[in-house]
């Protein structure tokens, strides 16, 4: 029986050799097992995953690069913005040769003579102090004018003038005063002062009264422009018609209904209501002129 099986195997082998040829049999590869097939698939998948991982890292690197670039650009923009904020003078905002100076988070312009304003854009005609002798500069339209103090005149207050040109007159607070050397009654004194272009003196302040004491003699009695001719005890100035604007010292004991004109006794510095026909010295006043 064994002999028969052995012969059958040999026969089959010879038959297979005849049908396929010796090389095909020799080169025939065994069918891979499930384990080996899975291993190959795993290796393939591993290679594929490795590639995917590589691509992912590449994409991540590209994303990180873009992020870094964006961050760099942002920092650059921020730095540029801060630079613009800090350098506020870079646009040369000051006009007419003004100098720009940064101050905190802003700027200011130092203007040259003749200009003013936020950016030195406005003309400043008083900046050069054109008015002399303590004159005050005032801008008028596109020019200026000078307000001169007493004793000066001219475009820039450069000319000295004598506001009280006539001999014997003395300047005080915008007025000229003249003390007579002859005696007249009150109405004649009024007329004499009018002839000079002035009026019998009217005192508007205690300082003005005190000034008259400095230009008169100690024991002089001098007519002034005050009177109550119209209404008893209602004293007004003859030239202006105004009442006294302060409280002088009247000598009450000398008051009488027939006494309507006032004089000043320099020694006592009292004011007396007296008879207008008495002959006394007088003091004239007129406005100072600066023509």
Mean pLDDT per 10-residue segment, the chain (291 residues): 66 62 47 44 45 47 49 52 66 89 87 83 84 91 85 87 83 92 97 96 92 92 95 92 89 74 91 94 90 62
Q: Please tell me the CATH code under which domain 169-287 is placed.
A: 3.10.100.10
Q: What is the pLDDT of residue 42?
A: 43
Res 254: pLDDT: 63
What is the spatial distance between Cα 111 and Cα 119, in angstroms, rounded to a whole number? 8
Residue-level pLDDT at 44: 45
Q: Has this prediction a pTM greater than 0.85?
A: no
Residue 124 and residue 120: Cα distance in Å, rounded?
Answer: 9
Question: How do beta strands 270-274 and 261-265 pair?
Answer: antiparallel
Q: Which two tokens stand for residue 116?
A: 């003013």
At residue 46, the pLDDT reads 45
Q: Residue 107's pLDDT is what? A: 87
């Amino acid at each position: 029986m064994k002999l028969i099986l052995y012969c059958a195997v040999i026969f089959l082998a010879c038959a297979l050799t005849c049908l396929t040829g010796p090389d095909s049999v020799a080169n025939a590869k065994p069918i891979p097992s499930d384990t080996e097939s899975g291993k190959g698939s795993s290796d393939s998948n591993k290679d594929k995953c490795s590639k995917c991982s590589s691509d992912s890292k590449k994409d991540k690197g590209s994303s990180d690069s873009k992020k870094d670039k964006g961050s760099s650009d942002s920092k650059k923009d921020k730095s540029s913005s801060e630079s613009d904020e800090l350098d506020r003078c870079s646009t040369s905002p000051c006009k007419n040769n003004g100098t720009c100076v940064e101050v905190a988070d802003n700027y200011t312009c130092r203007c040259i003579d003749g200009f003013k304003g936020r950016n030195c854009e406005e003309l400043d005609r008083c900046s050069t102090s054109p008015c002399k002798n303590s004159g005050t500069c005032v801008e008028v339209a596109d020019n200026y004018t000078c307000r001169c103090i007493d004793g000066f005149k001219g475009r820039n207050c450069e000319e000295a003038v004598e506001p009280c040109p006539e001999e014997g007159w003395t300047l005080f607070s915008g007025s000229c005063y003249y003390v007579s050397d002859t005696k007249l009654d009150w109405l004649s004194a009024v007329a004499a002062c009018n002839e000079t272009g002035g009026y019998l003196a009217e005192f508007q302040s205690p300082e003005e009264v005190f000034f008259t004491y400095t230009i008169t003699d100690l024991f002089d009695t001098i007519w002034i422009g005050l009177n109550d001719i119209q209404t008893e005890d209602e004293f007004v100035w003859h030239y202006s018609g105004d009442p006294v604007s302060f409280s002088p010292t009247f000598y009450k004991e000398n008051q009488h209904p027939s006494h309507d004109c006032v004089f000043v006794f320099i020694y006592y510095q009292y004011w007396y209501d007296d008879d207008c026909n008495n002959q006394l010295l007088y003091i004239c006043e007129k406005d100072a002129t600066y023509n």
